[in-house]
Amino acid sequence: MSETRETRPARRERPKALRLTTAAAEQIRSAMEKSEKPVVGIRIGLKNAGCAGMSYTMDYAEQQNPLDEVVEDQGVRILIDPKAILFLIGTEMDFVRDRMQARFVFNNPNQTSACGCGESVALKKAVE
């Protein structure tokens, strides 16, 4: 017996790998508007660096790569490097401003530690 549309379970929307706060979305939109070249979004990744092991990377994305994880949130397109996706699942990206600096902050549930200077973090792969 074949299932009809009425009897088939509704498709659930896949959870986003990364969420943006309003402040982060506004800052990214502003930065993209000021870009000297046309961009399709912001690329987020990780690189080996620092005493804790990894640092977040952010760059303008001039094109979408076939294996990028694409997250659309608050009118912003985030392209996540496929090598970084398992370390970023569940992350909230924020933008904070205080007396001394303004910066993006990654609130990542997969973070196990960070170095004292704040330049790098230790991450574990996300589990279901």
| Any domain includes 71 | yes
| pLDDT > 70 in the chain, percent | 83
| Any domain includes 13 | no
- Whichever domain contains 100, its CATH number is 2.60.300.12
| Any domain includes 2 | no
The parent domain of residue 55 ranges over 18-123
- Do 56 and 43 form a contact (C-beta atoms < 8 A)? no
Check residue 16 and give its pLDDT.
80
More confident residue, 18 or 49: 18
| Any domain includes 40 | yes
* pLDDT of 116 strictly over 70: no
Q: How confident is the model at residue 48 (pLDDT cuts 50, 70, 90)?
A: confident
| Any domain includes 43 | yes
| Any domain includes 29 | yes
The string over 21-53, giving b where at least 16 C-beta atoms fall within 10 Å of a residue's C-beta and e elsewhere, is bebbbebbeeebeeeeeebebbbbbbeeebebb
Counted domains in the chain: 1
Check residue 21 and give its pLDDT.
97
| Any domain includes 11 | no
- Give the span between the Cα atoms of 100 and 19, in whole angstroms: 26
- Stretch among 34-38, 56-60, 67-71, 124-128 having the lowest mean pLDDT: 124-128
**pLDDT tens string 50-93:** 776 788 899 999 999 999 999 999 999 999 999 999 989 999 99
